[in-house]
Structure 1
Amino acid sequence: MRFGVIGHKGRMGEALAAAITEAGHTLQVGVDAGGDPEPLACQCDVLVDFSAPAALAANLSAARAAGIPILIGTTGLGEEHVVMLAEAAKVVPVLQTGNFSLGVTLLAHLVREAASRLGPDWDIEVLEMHHRMKVDAPSGTARLLGEAAAQARGISLPDHMESGRHGMTGARREGAIGFATLRGGTVAGEHSVIFAGPSERLTLSHSAEDRMIFARGAVKAAEWLRGKPAGRYTMEDVLGL
């Protein structure tokens, strides 16, 4: 496959370039901030976007114009970006995720299972830690895990999310999904989802030891996405969960 990488000079872009070569594919070309993704898309079989939320509209437009699949690993997306993704998915295959790791994908599946089977008297807290250079919080992966828990309980994550607790916050709100964020050092990614019930706790965790796990997961997802009809896909689809 011929890959086009948007954000190819960033840390994830460099890891992706290595994973593409490792898997026997070709990094056809890449663009960064200020570059035009449309000429790139015309030369490729798939686009992978690890850039910034502000670039999403142009990147989706390039994939639509070329008629090729696009994978999006950009984090920090808002509700307006969700609408953009849905519109693009009417024309081309779109896979967007907060984390391309196969282990995290399975973790989200287990979180969904636990949240659906444990009652509302089990409180849910999401804890994450990343390197000091990460600019968004909570991480896209933390949000992905929180969303898995919320979906399993039939609630809206934005309406039940609690983060940045400070001062006299009062008792924990019933049904809340809490988020705690740590930053420091060179941590690639640590995520835990804690289910705290009456007199017992269940913790589901994942540790990323190397950024290459995300890059390899993205390549695997691109291989799976090729030839699929237009639509919105997830990493759980890739693993057949």
Structure 2
Amino acid sequence: MSVRIAIAGASGRMGRMLIEAVMQSPDCQLSGALDRDGSLLLGQDAGAFLGRESGVRVTSDLREGLAGAQVLIDFTRPEGTLAHLALCEELGVAMVIGTTGFEPEQKARIAAGAQKIGIMMAPNMSVGVNVVLKLLDMAARALNEGYDIEIIEAHHRHKVDAPSGTALKMGEVVAGALGRDLQACAVYGREGVTGERDPSTIGFATVRGGDIIGDHTVLFAGTGERIEISHKSSSRATYAQGSLRAARFLARSGPGLYGMDDVLGLTGRGA
């Protein structure tokens, strides 16, 4: 039986990639396509940009767009995602959340929602990125002394938050493996006479430009050697395929807050 999926942000780059992925998947069905008020796509067939008929019209009416959906995939903005969450709770629609830039209280709201519905929330849906997170945990535990840690990320000029959610997640994984609190040890910018580097810190550097999909490198710099663990995206297709895996996972799971490690079977809850 097909998983019935609604897509938020239908006119965006990621929204279009998700719609295409759902329409191409034999075990998924596009049940709804949501976009903001004023979008030029409202009322159009969601597959029109592909030259195909999906039978689903783009709408700004949340209730209409979620009617019949099992899962909503949401890569929008924090305020939009939280508005979608309220109705998903009411309707019993699970959520795949790829939105980034949440404040702590907003994350707490999502965690509360996961008591009612299944929510898979991850800053990056790429299978490769989530494997890298596991590698980072292993590397940080082994390189726990004598190595300075820097996280460098690059994205397209249109990205509105920095550092990226993926970079922050990488920092959280590394800090956790080292027994540190990322909020206390993160350094997000350096300028002027900063003094010597504090070895207990984790540094972040951000690049924005052009159409870079997403590059992330975690650098472990020691004396006499340097270890770099990198992931580079050349297409958003990997995020879309990871999102569909998450939607399939939620379709057979109960309420709870899950991560991509659950979806990929990297923890005891995966399948």
Measured in 2, the distance between the counterparts of 1:36 and 1:201 equals 52
Following the alignment from structure 1 to structure 2, what is the Cα–Cα distance between the partners of residues 150 and 230? 28
Distance in 2, Cα, partners of 1:147 & 1:111 = 10
RCO higher in structure (CA 8 A, sep ≥6): 1
Counterpart code for 2:232: S
Deviates more, 1:35-44 or 1:147-156: 35-44
- Which residue identity does 1:21 align to in structure 2? M
Please list, as runs of the form range in 1=range in 2, the aligned pairs for 1:51-62 lying within 5 A after superposition: 51-62=76-87
Identity %: 39
The residue that corresponds to 1:200 in the other structure is: 225
Q: Could you say what secondary structure the match of 1:221 adopts? A: helix
**Letter in structure 1 aligned against 2:245:** K
Cα displacement (A) at 1:54: 1.2
2:177 partner SS: helix
After TM superposition, give the deviation of residue 48 of structure 1 in Å.
Answer: 0.8
Q: Which runs of 5+ in 2 are unaligned?
A: 38-59, 267-271
How many angstroms does 1:68 deviate by? 2.1
Question: Please, what TM-score do these two structures have when normalized by structure 1?
Answer: 0.96
Unaligned runs of 5+ in 1: none
User: Which residue of the partner structure matches residue 23 of structure 2?
Assistant: 21
Query: Once the two structures are superposed, what CA deviation does each residue of 1:78-103 show, in whole Å capped at 9, x if it has no partner?
Result: 10111011101111111111100000
The answer to whether residue 177 in structure 2 is matched with residue 177 in structure 1 is: no
Q: Provide the C-alpha distance between the structure 2 equivalents of 1:33 and 1:151, rounded to a whole number of angstroms.
A: 38
Match of 2:43 in 1: none
The equivalent residue for 2:48 is: none
- Residues 56 and 81, structure 1, Cα contact 8 Å, conserved in 2: no
TM-score (norm 2): 0.85
Map of 2:4 onto structure 1 = 2
Take 1:38 and 1:181, find their aligned partners in 2: how far apart are those partners? 38
Q: Which residue of 1 aligns with 2:186?
A: 161
Whole-angstrom distance in 1 between the partners of 2:178 and 2:91 = 39
Q: Residue 56 of structure 1: CA displacement?
A: 2.5
Q: How does 1:70-85 map to 2 (within 5 A)?
A: 70-85=95-110
RMSD over equivalenced CA pairs, Å = 1.3
**1:3-59: CA deviation from partner (whole Å, max 9, x where unpaired):** 111111110000001111121222211112343423322320101111101123211
SS in 1 for 2:229: strand
Structure-to-structure mapping, 1:1-241, within 5 angstroms: 1-24=3-26, 25-34=28-37, 35-241=60-266
The structural deviation recorded for 1:120 is 3.3
Does the 8 Å CA contact 1:32/1:51 hold for their aligned counterparts? no
